[in-house]
Amino acid sequence: MIAEHAVTGREPYLAARVLDALLREDYGGLAGRVARRKDGVVLHLPGPGGRLVRLVPGSPFQDFTVAPAERLGLPEVLGALRAVAHPADAAGVEAFAGECLQALRALDLHDAHRRDVLARLRRGPAGSARYEALAAFLDHPVYPTARCRAGLSDEDLTAYAPEFAPSFALRWAAVPRERVTGSAPGGPPMAPDFARVGLPGGLADTHALFPVHPLALPAVRAIPWAVVAPEPYLTVRPTLSMRTVEVDARTHLKLPLPTSTLGLRNRRSIKPGTLADGARAELLLRRIAGPRLLLADEQLHAHTGHEYLAWLVRRLPPGEIVPVAALLAPLPGGGTVAEELAARRHGGGAGGRGAGGVDGVGGVGVEALLTEYLRPLFASGVRLFVRYGVALEAHQQNLALVLDGDGPPRLLVKDNDGLLASPGRLRAAGTAVPDFADGRMLTDDPHALADVFVTITLHLAAAAPAFGALPPARASRLLRDTLAEALEPYGDDPAARLLRARTLDAARLVGKSMVTAGTLVDKARTGARDVNKFYGTSGPNYLRHPPAAVRPVITQRTP
C-alpha cells in the first residue's frame, strides 16, 4: 500500500498533468482502463491503493483528462505508472519519477519567489526579455514535467532560469584555433580581449575565446585543452529556452547547458553539426519561404567538437518581438500579453470592452490579434508543405510576432535545425537539397511531413494559444477557417489533399508520445530515430468537434 501522503501546493496540478499525459500516450495500456458509468467516465488507477479517478472532456489534445475536483498525489500516479510499466522500462520509469519530483520542486520554488520576480518585471527589463520571462510563467501545452531541468539545484534555477527573470555574467574559455569549426572560428562578435577576462594576451595568437554558460563551467573545466578565464564578462538574460540568452534587444547567444528538458533524452548540449545544419536550413528557407516569414539570422556559429563548447549568435530584425509562447502569459498588473497587445492594436483586451462588446479574455480584439497571427502561420506552413515538401519544427517557443507600427504583425522563425524536408519535392521545385549532416532532417515520406505539420504547426503553434485565449467553439472555428483559407489556393494538388485529409477532414489528429520517447522507453524499444518525432497517439479532431472546455496550463494567475 502507498503510505498516507498529504497532497498540498502544486502537487495536485502536476499529478493531474502527469496522469493526463500517461493516459493520452496510453502508456502500459492505461487507456484500456477507462470506463463509462452512469455518473460519468472514470479511470481505474492500477497499483497499490488504486482507486477510481473521475475524468472529463477538457483538452483539445485528448479525449478525457482528470476532473478538476480530483486531488491526486504524485505517489499514487507514479505507483500506477510502475504497475503498468514493462520490466524493460524500469530505469526510464524511475528517471521519470525523478523528473516529476524536480518539476514539483521547481513549481514550488517559483511560487515562493513569485512576488520578487513580479516586482523585477514591473521595474524592467523591457522588450523581449520581459516577454521571455513572462512566457516562462506558463507550462508546456502537453509535456507535464517541462519545469524539470535535470540535475539543477534551487540555486541554479533562481540564478539562471527564465521564470525568475535573472541577469548574470557569462564565463569564457580559450580554445585552440585548430579545434574550431564553423562560420566564425575567431569567436563571436561580443567576445572581449583576453586580458579583459584575466588571460594572457599572447593566447590570442593561437586560441579563440568561447562564451561559456556558468552552469557549464564545471564540464568545461574538465576539458584538458580548454583554458577557463578567471573573470566573467558580459551581462545577459535567459530566454525561454534557458540555454539561449539575450545579449541585447537584437542579439541572442545560444550556448550548451548540462541538463535535459522535455525528457531525459532531450539533452541541452550542442552536438557537432547541429548549428551548421540550422544555418543550412535557414538559407533554404530564405530561398523558398516567401514574404510572410521573417527569419532570424543564425549564420554566425562555431564548434570545437565538444558538446559543451559551442556557440551561435542570433540576430533579430527591427520591431517589437513577442514570442508566441508569451501570448497567454499573465501580466504583473493583470490580464495577459495577448490582451495587452489586442488593446493596443484593436481596442479590446484586459479589463476593457472590445468593439463587439466582449470582455476580457476572448474579446474580439484578442480574436483579431490571433487571426493576424494564424493567417501567416498557416499560409506559410501550407505553402512550404505543398510546394516544397518542407515542414518546420517551429513551435510556440521558436515563433514570434514582430510588431512595427500599425501594419499587420509579421512572423519570425528561429532555430531551424529540427526542420524536415523532402529531397524529391525540393528537386521537383528546382531547389537544391541542403547537405545536412543529420540525415533525419530529410525524408520523402509525405505522412512524416504531415505528422510534423499537425503536431507542431497545428497543435503547438496554433491550437495551444487559440484555445488558451478564446472560448473553445470560437477557437475551433478560427483555426478551421484560417487553415481552410490557406489550403484553398492549392485545390486538388495531391499534397494539399493529403494535408486536408490529415487535418480538416480527419476523424482524429495525430499526437506525439513525448513522455514515452523522451524518458520512459529506450530508443531501442520505441524504434524512434528522433525522440522529438515519435508518434503513435491520437486525439479528437478539434477542428471538427470543439472541446467542451479547456484547462489552462498557466501555473499561477498574477493579481
Task: List pLDDT tens digits, range 222-241.
Answer: 999 999 999 999 999 999 99
Whether the predicted pLDDT of 479 surpasses 50? yes
- Residues 6 or more apart whose CB falls under 8 angstroms from that of 268 comprise 242, 243, 256, 257, 258, 259, 260, 261
**381 backbone φψ class: left, alpha, beta (φ>0; ψ -120 to 50):** alpha
User: How many residues can be counted in the chain?
Assistant: 559
- pLDDT in the model for residue 90: 97
- pLDDT in the model for residue 553: 58
d(CA 200, CA 361): 58
Whether the predicted pLDDT of 475 surpasses 90? yes
Task: List pLDDT tens digits, range 320-345.
Answer: 999 999 999 999 888 999 999 999 98
The 10 Å Cβ neighbour count of residue 404 is: 13
Where does the pLDDT of residue 369 fall: very low under 50, low under 70, confident under 90, or very high at 90 and above?
very high
Output 240 or 408, whichever has higher pLDDT.
Answer: 240
Mean pLDDT of 409-429: 97
- pLDDT in the model for residue 486: 98
Whether the predicted pLDDT of 109 surpasses 80? yes
Task: List pLDDT tens digits, range 175-193.
Answer: 999 999 999 999 999 999 9
d(CA 311, CA 187): 9
Lowest mean pLDDT of 143-147, 158-162, 185-189, 360-364, name the range.
360-364
Q: State which H helix or E strand residue 469 sits in.
A: helix 464-469
Mean pLDDT of 250-255: 97
In terms of Cα–Cα distance, which of 261, 251, 275 is closest to 161? Answer: 261
In the beta sheet, which residues pair with residue 41?
36, 55
Whether the predicted pLDDT of 360 surpasses 50? no
Quickly list DSSP for 412-465.
EE---TT-EE-HHHHHHTT-PPP--S-GGGB---HHHHHHHIIIIIIIIIIIHH
Whether the predicted pLDDT of 482 surpasses 80? yes
Domains of the chain by range and CATH? 320-506 (1.10.510.40)
Whether the predicted pLDDT of 254 surpasses 70? yes
